[in-house]
Structure 1
Amino acid sequence: MYVQDALTLGKLTLNLGIRGDLYRGLSSDSLAEPRAGASYQIKKTNTVVRGSYGRFMVTPYNENLLISSETGEGGLAQHIFGAFGSQPLRPAHRNHFSTGFEQAIGKYFSVEADYFWKFTDPDFDFDVLFNTSLTFPIQWRKSKIDGASIKVNVPDFHGLTAYSVMGHTRARFFGPEIGGLIFNNPEQINSNAPFRIDHDQAFEAVTHLQYQYGKNAPWFGFTWNYQSGEVAGAVPFALNPTTPVNLSNLTADEQLQIGLACGGVVPSLGTPLTSCAPSQLTATRVVIPAPGTENADRNPPRVAPRNTFDVGAGMDNLFRTDHYKANLRFTVVNLTNKDALYNFLSTFSGTHFIPPRSYTAELGFTF
């Protein structure tokens, strides 16, 4: 059940509402969820400022919920060996804040920026049973997720259009874990310490330029994509400068995927690396923290940063007709054929490489 309304008071616009949710599953909960948003236009400077707040109920995932809800603190992995107590996963409560602005600068330039904060208590995630497709919902004590986005836009400047979108996401979860199966970091199961989940990324940016000389002329486009690298929690690291690093938690195939090497020796599919001296451990597709510096919150292993470039060219209304139009386009994705990981051993998507260089030609008709 919900009620909402929009009010306009001069240059101020308000969106106000409240929603009520009632959850009856393996646990029970109810919550009143107010939402409020406001924007204000400063006409003299062509500025719009805005902000919003919302409170939400986040319900547990349903898949294998019954099993996860009977495993108790520490998860099923500990409960079968005598963990104390058990409790169903309960709905979470989230406070979501956001603020931002839009600024026009003349006729040819605009900037838009936003920042958000999400505080969820507790919060949900999934874990996978070994290398199977079986997933179990798990619940952490709380999460704090915040991020920023900035968009710079050039609508049309003598045939040139351009935009650049930049973003930052900080995704921190806090233990202990309640319910589910977790193997990725067993020493943290009952810890209150924060850690980063795999969609945490310090910086990402997409910049696109396109030029067209005249309405019926060909256009040419260029796109630059930068990713600083998502968290890759399954990557091995050295606890200190002297203790050998145990590499047996990764298969030979997984070691090859991250470009792992020990003193220049690389694994083969039949002969995985089993251990390595900290000073000799290297990888080409992930960033391994220096010996003794790994921190699940401040300095976790990550996918290596990458730059990729795409180019394209085309022509709209190829035959310059009014009613039936033909469009021609040619694009090259990953122009330099960059070899890089997108993620590594992610819970749902597993491991993905970015696509290799590819060519696409398109001919379209509009009528």
Structure 2
Amino acid sequence: MKILCTFSLCFVAAPLVAQVSTGELRLKVTDSTGLGLKATVALSSEANQYFSELTTDADGSAKIKTLAYGVYRLDIEKQGFSPISNTLEIRSAIPVERTLHLSIAPINTVIRVSDTGILLDPNRPSSIMQIGSAEIEDRVASLPGRSVQDLVNSQPGWLYEGNAVLHPRGSEYQTQLVVDGVPLTDNRSPGFGPEIEADDLDSVSIYTAGIPAEYGRKLGGVVELNTRRKAQAGLHGQLVLGGGSYDTLQSFGQLQDTWGKNTLSASASGSGTSHYLNPVVPENFTNNGTTADFALMYERDFTPSDRLTAGVRHELSRFEIPNEFLQELAGQIQNGDNFETIGTVSYQHIFSPNLLTNLVGMVRDNANDLYSNPLSTPIIAFQKNSFRERYFKGAASFHHGIQEFKAGIESDTAFLHENFNYFITDPSQFHDSTPIALPPFIQSRPDLEQGAFVEDLIRLGRWTVSAGIRWDHYQLLLNQNAFSPRFSVGRYLPSFSTVLHFSFDRVFQTPSNENILISSSGYIQSLNPQVLKLPVKPSIGNYYEGGSSTSLAEKLRVDANFYRRDVRKYADDDQLLNTGVSYPIAFDKAVIYGAEGKLSLVRVGKLSGYLSYSYMVGNVWFPVTGGLFLGDDVGAALSQLSGHFPDSQDQRNTVRTRFQYQFTPRIWLATGLLSGAGLPFEFEGEQSDALAQYGPAVVSRLNFERGRVAPSLSIQASLGVDIYKSERINSRFQVDGDNLNNRLNIIDFGGLFSGNAIGPARSFSLRLNTSF
């Protein structure tokens, strides 16, 4: 009831901004006399992996929303009239309006429209990765809780650590998800937060460079998620049913009805599996998990210039923490859960054809818990953390000649609550002076963050420049602020069908607020007499990227990027007393550099797909500059004042590929692989300790001399069949196989009772997707 009251207040006082880099097309189709026509409209952009087909209403009107910036091809057809093929650009939040007139087709005249698409965006000043609806629908099925993470992890520059924690270009816990314009900056991996199901998405846009000044706080990578919206009037929906290995069952359903000026949509999903988190041993002990998601959204266009949108979403996950051999022998059962309710509301007003404003408000309640049974070893831990977040942003977009201005302010307040207690059952695993138990730690504190930004996109012939500056203020345990300039420039070379680009991003990244109160509290002194506590300061970094995009015969696109990141107060994380309760720490600096390349085959005959390669080197320098350290770690932190070590995401070589062959209009086969050179690890115990905890199969995949996990390889294959297809209904059946080579892929190896993660063995899944 409390969240509903706050949501109502938000609805009145602080209306949801549209996606940062998206716009809208408003279309009118008429005959030569100006009368509206009900015609078929196809809008596509191969550069953005976008395709949408709809029918205009009775007066010839249609609106297509949340279009990523870029160049689009527009095809309009109606029986008895000559078809039209045209191109247009989306470069601003201000809607693009087009009125197109169809002429009556001459008798006995055959008109052919070229199927050549727009593979390259000549006015894009930086690299952006796009995932369209077709790739989302044809993806290899994911285990519950990680479908979005698997989509992002398919892109070059991104790496998993255990339990689907995403790391963009070596960054730790600095990923920001933006859901329909609302930023979520907390950890969204399966063990920390529930996810939005990928079937609920229409498109994904990913930034690791050239980040708009509108974004702040978590900038290792920004992932924009556009939830599914049908532009077509009337009732539409989708039902997805799936299941497979590890007793996995999944379902998703969505309905949308558009009538007059109103659109109402609802979606729900649920899943269950016996492989929710990454197990620590191949036997996959105690790893059951369930998820659920419910969402409702209402939108009304009061006038052509005024739009109100309101939505609510509730998500939850419940899961077990995987056991090692000794924990399973002892009978340990640890359970975790996450609950989240989000209310959003927005108001958009167009003052003129050149000026648009958006107001956004969001209220979010998030809670996560950890419970342990009396047989847990070496520690029984309980955690009950929660926060209430109130977010507001106001932004204005202004078009003037060759410039697209945008400016705005935002405020984010999170009221943190932490509750932790423990009981040690195996004292031999801890410092001699560590108490067996202490009274619960309970503390609350607000996290206050504000920002303001201004940015400009300028097109000067074949040059495109994006420039902006952002101001951020952070107040939790520290009170700091900073200015962050951003700049990117692109140059189109038509003779070579190539765009060259360069970007510079100054970033101010606030620390993770996960367990930050307990790690900085006086409670810690009671755990161990040897304590080092240093305030974790925001990370400040400079990101550089240069690269190119080249189109070859409108069939093949080659993207190549070279980058470097210099970060001070580099963010990392550590763990409290072997409990799985993590908290932020920081080191003096990090230097991360590398190269990425992706070859995208749009379609040659019946073949399409991609091949990508990533090379990354990351090093982190001492001394420690922030965080909590106990016992022997205190001496190491104080004495290690120089030198460096590999970043935990320092996987030098990563290859991803997936190609699809269309045998018939209704049958396709896809195959691909994911290969990684292996992540570094540190192990404080003896190799015999690792054997006792994890067994010989795991240890055989570790190189203790080099401190590296053995290379990983997972081969995938999919078969899709359109079992029923009509003008209104499309039903597709898909079967997927993952890790068909059945290699024991070790993702992480971190030490006793923590940090180990094993990828799934050979597995299969079935999915039936019906839309209407």
Q: TM-score range by the shorter chain?
A: 0.7 to 0.9
Gaps of 5+ in 1: 237-245, 260-283, 290-299
Which one of the candidate residues 191, 194, 216 is aligned to 2:644? 194
Of the structure 1 ranges 348-357 and 159-168, higher mean CA displacement relative to structure 2 is found in 348-357
2:538 paired with 1:91:
yes
8 A Cα contact 1:170 1:200, kept in partner: yes
Q: Which residue of 1 aligns with 2:472?
A: 21
Asked if the contact 1:76–1:180 (Cα under 8 Å) also holds between the matched residues in 2, the reply is no
Relative distance call for 1:248 and 1:361 in structure 2 (3 A) is: closer
Q: Give CA deviations for 1:141-199 in whole Å, capped at 9, x if unaligned.
A: 11112232210111111101121011122221111113312789778532311111322
1:287 to 703, 708, 712: 703
Please give the alpha-carbon distance, in whole angstroms, between the structure 2 residues aligned to 1:165 and 1:307. Answer: 15
Q: 1:105: Cα distance to partner? A: 1.9
Cα drift, residue 341 of structure 1: 1.1
Q: What is the DSSP-based 3-state SS (H/G/I as helix, E as strand, rest coil) of the residue aligned with 2:694?
A: helix
> Is the CA contact (8 Å cut-off) linking 1:330 and 1:360 kept in structure 2?
yes
Separation (CA, whole Å) in 2 of partners of 1:188 and 1:50: 43
Aligned residue-pair number: 317
How far apart in 2 are the matches of 1:358 and 1:56?
41
After superposition, residues 92-111 of structure 1 pair within 5 angstroms as 92-111=539-558
1:357 aligns with 2:357: no
1:303 aligns with 2:709: yes
Q: CA deviation at 1:41?
A: 0.7
C-alpha distance in 2, partners of 1:319/1:66? 56
**Structure 2 residue 332 is the aligned partner of structure 1 residue 332:** no
Alignment of 1:37-52 (within 5 A): 37-52=488-503
User: How far did 1:23 drift?
Assistant: 2.6
Q: Which moved more, 1:26-35 or 1:176-185?
A: 176-185
Pairwise CA distance, 1:82: 8.0
DSSP-derived class of the 2:612 partner: strand
The residue that corresponds to 2:73 in the other structure is none
Give CA-to-partner distance per residue, 1:178-224, whole Å, 9 cap, x none: 3312789778532311111322101111111211134x241111112
Question: Is residue 2:431 matched to residue 1:6?
Answer: no
Equivalence map 1:60-79=2 (5 Å): 60-66=511-517, 68-69=519-520
Q: Aligned residue for 1:254?
A: 694
Cα distance, 1:186–1:225 mapped onto 2, change above 3 Å: farther
Q: Could you tell me how far apart the structure 1 residues matched to 2:549 and 2:748 are?
A: 33
Deviation of the 1:257 alpha carbon: 6.0
Judging changes above 3 Å, is the alpha-carbon distance between structure 1 residues 70 and 96 closer, same or farther for their aligned structure 2 residues?
farther
Structure 1 residue aligned with 2:724: 319
- Residue of structure 2 equivalent to 1:293: none
Residue of structure 2 equivalent to 1:264: none
Distance 1:250 1:330, change over 3 A: closer
Find the residue that maps to 2:577 and give its secondary structure. Answer: coil
Deviations 1:284-313 (A, max 9, x none): 211232xxxxxxxxxx51111122211121
Instruction: Tell me: CA distance 1:90–1:325, structure 2 relative to 1, closer, same or farther (3 Å).
Output: closer
Aligned-partner residue type, residue 624 of structure 2: E
Q: Deviations over 1:96-134 (max 9, x none)?
A: 111111011223222101122221111121101232122
Q: 1:347 to 1:62 in 2, by over 3 A?
A: farther
- Once the two structures are TM-superposed, the CA of residue 18 in structure 1 deviates from its matched residue by 0.7
- Pick aligned residue for 1:222 from 671, 694, 710: 671
Aligned partner of 1:175 in structure 2 is 622
Kindly provide the amino acid, as one letter, of the partner of residue 488 in structure 2: G
- Secondary structure in 1 matching 2:724: coil
Whole-Å separation in 1 of the counterparts to 2:738 and 2:483: 48
- Cα deviation, 1:222-271, whole Å, max 9, x if unaligned, reads 112211111122276xxxxxxxxx44664712354632xxxxxxxxxxxx
Correspondence for 1:278: none
**Residue pair 2:663, 2:669 contacting (<8 A) in 1 also:** no
Which of these residues, 586, 592, 614, is aligned with residue 139 of structure 1?
586
Q: Distance in 1 between matches of 2:628 and 2:474?
A: 21
User: 1:346 deviation in Å?
Assistant: 8.0
Q: Residue in 2 aligned with 1:242?
A: none
Matched AA of 2:623? P
Q: Secondary structure at the match of 1:192?
A: coil
Give the Cα separation in 2 of the matches to 1:347 and 1:247.
11
Counterpart of 1:227, as a letter, is G
Matching residue of 1:32:
483
In 2, Cα distance between equivalents of 1:104 and 1:51: 18
CA gap of 1:109–1:128, structure 2 versus 1, over 3 A, is: same
User: 1:55-82, CA deviations, whole angstroms, 9 ceiling, x for partnerless residues?
Assistant: 12122232343554579xxx989x9448
Which ranges in structure 2 are unaligned for 5 or more consecutive residues?
A: 1-451
**1-structure distance, mates of 2:752, 2:535:** 22
- Aligned partner of residue 562 in structure 2, secondary structure: strand
What residue in structure 2 maps to residue 234 of structure 1? 683
Instruction: Tell me the equivalent position of 1:240.
Output: none
Q: What secondary structure, in the 3-state scheme, does the structure 2 residue paired with 1:258 have?
A: helix
Distance 2:693 2:485 in 1: 50
Tell me the percent identity. 25
TM-score of the superposition, structure 1-length normalised?
A: 0.77
Whether the 8 Å CA contact 2:578–2:754 is kept in 1: the answer is no
Change (3 A) 1:312 1:87: closer
Change (3 A) 1:347 1:143: farther
For the 8 Å contact 1:128–1:347, the answer to whether it is kept is no
Asked whether the 8 Å contact 2:559–2:598 carries over to 1, the reply is yes
Contact 1:136 1:181 in 2 (8 A): no
